[in-house]
Amino acid sequence: MISSSAVSGRIDVPVSPSTWVGCLTALPWLVLSIFNLILAQAYSPFFLILVPAGLAGAIYQWKLNGSLSLDRSIIRLTVADDELQVQQGDGQHYSVTPDSASRLYPRLVVLKLKPAATTNWPHTVLLWAREQGPGNVPGDLHRRLRAWLRLASGNS
């Protein structure tokens, strides 16, 4: 359940599966595949070898960010005691640090999250506010998380 307490400053943001977010994250890979098809027709059939890689990337991003069906998918973000934590689809919880490459927009947040205790690759998470339309996070929690991220980046 969605919980947030003004006293503790806790923000608990569940991430829901979203067709729109899946399409948005798969789009660059689909464009790459189409571009390779055009190159194959114009120059060399060699470029057809790259089409499956682009399609595989699109499917992976759809499953990771759209349908949230992979173990590595981020299904919840929690801010407690000025620390950002994520929960993956496999149930694993860990602390993360937002990277400076993250982008905050009024209805869309593109978060690049680095695991705090490891040198693992960063995760990129799209949070689209759900206000009378598509999205994968509730609008009020999206605003609170965006405000926390702005304040946290201003303090560092």
My answer on whether 125 and 146 are in the same domain is yes
Residues 40 and 80 in one domain: no
Using CA atoms, how far apart are residues 106 and 123, in angstroms rounded to an integer?
A: 21
Measure the CA dihedral 118/122/126/129, to 10°.
Answer: 30
How far apart, in whole angstroms, are the C-alpha atoms of residue 78 and residue 97? 12
Do 57 and 88 reside in the same domain of the chain?
A: no
Q: Could you identify the residue written with the tokens 């978060």?
A: 111
Residues 88 and 39 in one domain: no
What pLDDT is recorded for position 2? 41
Contact 136, 21 (CB under 8 A): yes
Query: With contact defined as beta carbons under 8 Å apart, do 13 and 127 qualify?
Result: yes
Residues 96 and 40 in one domain: no
What is the residue-level pLDDT of the chain in tens, covering all 156 positions? Answer: 444 344 348 999 999 999 999 999 999 999 999 999 999 999 999 999 999 999 999 999 999 999 999 999 999 999 998 899 999 999 999 999 999 899 999 999 999 999 987 777 788 999 999 887 789 999 999 999 999 999 887 765
Q: Does residue 62 contact residue 22 with C-beta atoms inside 8 Å?
A: yes
Kind of pairing between the strands at 10-14 and 4-5: antiparallel
**How many domains are contained in the chain?**
2
**Shared-domain flag, residues 59 and 30:** yes
For tokens 């190159």, the residue is: 39
Please answer whether residues 77 and 84 qualify as being in contact, where contact means their C-beta atoms are separated by less than 8 angstroms: yes
Asked if 128 and 137 touch (Cβ cutoff 8 Å), the reply is: yes
Q: For the chain, first and last CA: distance in Å?
A: 31
Q: Which two tokens stand for residue 14?
A: 């569940």
The domain containing residue 44 runs over which residues? 24-66
Q: Find the CATH number of the domain harbouring 120.
A: 2.30.29
Q: pTM for this one?
A: 0.85
Same domain, 86 and 114: yes
